[in-house]
Amino acid sequence: MTPASFDLAAGPPSPQRKDYRIGILGSGFIVNDCHLVGYRQAGFNPVALASRTPENAARVAARHSVSKVYPTCEELLDDSSLEVLDIAVPPDAQLALIKAACARGTLKGILAQKPLGMNYAEALEAVLCCEAAGITLAVNQNMRYDQSVRSAKTLLSNGTLGEPVFATIDMRGIPHWMPWQARLGWVTLRVMSIHHLDCFRYWFGDPEGIYCSTRPDPRTGFPHTDGICAYILEYAAGLRCVAIDDTWTGPAKEGCPGDLGIKWRIEGLNGLALGDIGWCKDPHTSPSTMRYASKGDAGFSEPRWTGSWFPDAFAATMGQLLVALETGQEPAIGGRDNLKTMALVDAAYLSASQKRLVTLSEILSPPQPH
């Protein structure tokens, strides 16, 4: 029988109690097509919704049978019956809502969208505010809950691959960009690369530093620097992680045949694993795939899944917060852990602008009390 530690079909822990009363701030694509779809499939209990466009909030609530729509986000925050807050608003609006929720003092937990604010400094302020208020904070780093990504972590943890030597993530995709990106001047690093930086941290822990090079994406009309990004993470033991985040991919939207997708590869002293993320595909909910083998194997093993990153991972991130509330433990995607991911993003921008290796220690503040 396959040992439990080697069960690549195993999902993340699920909360025993699923009826926590969840209020949601935001009614865009990520809420309408991902959060609420995943929550309903998991049997969670979203009961209230608000956004800056009440008409859109009403449409989303009707589609997903959310019983209460508040005219404003502030009125939803005043609802003391809510136990959990799901914040899915633009990054420049997130910190103020977190601070307002903490000031009410009625919530048990908050699931915040990534990025956790505009930069590391805002993320740290959000973490400290939640800790002072006694509110458990989790961050929606949902790529950790793609089935192939979690299975790769299992192979690393149980020694199937041996000591990691080299890892890559290669994204050739045209993401679903949000309108607020033009206002902020962000394209890739804080929106897509943040997934891959967090994924490397999930797999291998924290690197010593990062080299990053960027250039504008020819398709994106507003001013920006981080359209196409390439970066290297350096680890003390010798591991190197390399990512290419290419949101241009050639003129795939301008009449040229495209070759879109996200692929990852982990090479260890004992084995090899290769994954293909089921995103940037048609349909966008295609399951991810993976192949892996160790020294002495006759060929590759190829586990398969019926679920997919979108929308299943969004039930997993909320589920991790609810499990944390049940157990009293820090969520696997807790706010304090996410500070390292936010620091890596800031380090990537600094590296690209100064054309040098930037260490995590240059970004991180001195340790703060819990």
Q: What is the pLDDT of residue 3?
A: 40
DSSP state of 119: S
Domain map (residue ranges) of the chain: 6-141+316-333, 147-307+343-349
Confidence of residue 7 (pLDDT cuts 50, 70, 90): confident
| In the predicted structure, residue 124 carries a pLDDT above the cut 50 | yes
Question: How many Å apart are CA 113 and CA 336, to the nearest integer?
Answer: 14
Is the domain defined by 6-141+316-333 classed in CATH 1.25.40.10? Answer: no
Whether 278 contacts 286, CB under 8 Å: yes
Two structure tokens written together for 112: 């915040």
Q: Return the CATH architecture of domain 147-307+343-349.
A: 2-Layer Sandwich (3.30)
Q: What is the dihedral of CA 139, 141, 142, 146, to 10 degrees?
A: -140
Q: What is the pLDDT of residue 286?
A: 87
87-122, pLDDT tens digit by residue?
999 999 999 999 999 999 999 999 999 999 999 999
Burial 42-76 (b: 16+ CB within 10 A, else e): bebbbbbbbbeeeebbbebbeebebebbbeebeeb
Question: How many Å apart are CA 105 and CA 230, to the nearest integer?
Answer: 42
Question: How many Å apart are CA 182 and CA 37, to the nearest integer?
Answer: 27
Q: What is the pLDDT of residue 369?
A: 54
| Nearest by Cα to 151 from 286, 313, 262, 11 | 11
Q: What is the pLDDT of residue 368?
A: 53
Mean pLDDT confidence for 70-87 = 98
23-62, pLDDT tens digit by residue?
999 999 999 999 999 999 999 999 999 999 999 999 999 9
